[in-house]
Amino acid sequence: MCFWCGKPGHIALHCTEPPRKKDDDQDKNPKGKARVFALNQHEAEQDLNMIAGIVLLSNVPVYVLFDSGATNSFISASFVARSNFACVRMNNELEISIPSGKTLYTNQMTKSMKLEIDGKILEADLYLLEMKDFDVILGMDWL
């Protein structure tokens, strides 16, 4: 399902729908605002403060980007589909500013995912987001 227009059959990257109008948004549930500074390996390499590596997410190895500038944490929608992780639909939408200047929207997340880092188990709620190169982006909210 496309996170841009909400229709099945394509992803946001290939969406041909025009941008949403502000008037349309006022009829929906209120949105939270978030930002992420890298969605792919090239963008992450531009910032020396970002760290990438492999960790276990609910006992599944994932390629994760630690993005201290991201307000929230995200999981790749295609990775979720391949891994059969359970998702929940939220009552409100999260509006995400990405490096290209575009805005993406999501109202789905995986809840209480177990992250294993250096033998320690932490929990994270991860919003679904179309991205490539990374399975998970961990922002400041998971700390």
Domains and CATH numbers, the chain: 31-142 (2.40.70.10)
Q: Please tell me the distance from the alpha carbon of residue 47 to that of residue 50, in angstroms, as a whole number.
A: 6
**pLDDT on residue 40:** 58
Residue type, 66: F
Q: Which residues contact 47 (CB under 8 A, 6 or more apart)?
A: 37, 38, 69
Average pLDDT over residues 116-136: 89
Read off the pLDDT of residues 54-92 as tens digits, 9 standing for 90 and up.
Answer: 999 999 999 998 887 788 899 999 899 888 889 999 888
